[in-house]
Amino acid sequence: MTEALRPRVKAVEVRRPLHLAVTVGLSAGAYAAALAGVTALQSSSEQALAANHAPTLEAIDTLRAEHDRLEARLTAAGAAYDAAAAAYGELTGGLGQFEQGLGALAAQVTKVEGSAMSLPTSVRLPSVSRSSGSTSRPATNATTGASGG
């Protein structure tokens, strides 16, 4: 075969896949930019949400402080109630003893009343006579060893 009849073979140039690296790089850059945009939007959305929730959080903090204050007052009231109940218990014990003493006193009063009822209502005193005569003094003959007399 002659050269004229022989098909000409073109030299094929070997391509390097640089276009793939550029495409992957551009895709990664676009993805990073999209993520940055989403992050910025989410951050501003969270800041707005936090600003909207600030009054609610203040109210919750106030409620928490009031709850703690009321809990402390209830604890103090419970302690005062316990102390009052203990004092009342001691008082009722003493009151029982007082009632027993009062019962004994009532029994003694009843006895005294019974004795008083048996006494006469009036007592006749003996009469004393007075004589109109003169009374003389008894004579004394006593001497003392004292000077002057």
C-alpha to C-alpha distance for 86 and 68, rounded to whole angstroms: 27
Q: Given this model, what pLDDT does residue 94 score?
A: 84
Dist. CA 25–CA 19, nearest whole Å: 10
pLDDT at 82: 96
Residue 126 has pLDDT above 90, yes or no: no
Model pLDDT, residue 36:
96
Please state the domain extents for the chain: 19-86
- Residue 138: what pLDDT? 61
Average pLDDT over residues 69-97: 93
Measured CA to CA in angstroms, residue 2 lies from 6, 7, 8, 11, 117 at distances of 6, 10, 11, 20, 175
CA distance 91 to 86: 9
For residue 136, the model assigns a pLDDT of: 62
- Number of residues that this document lists for the chain: 149
pTM: 0.39
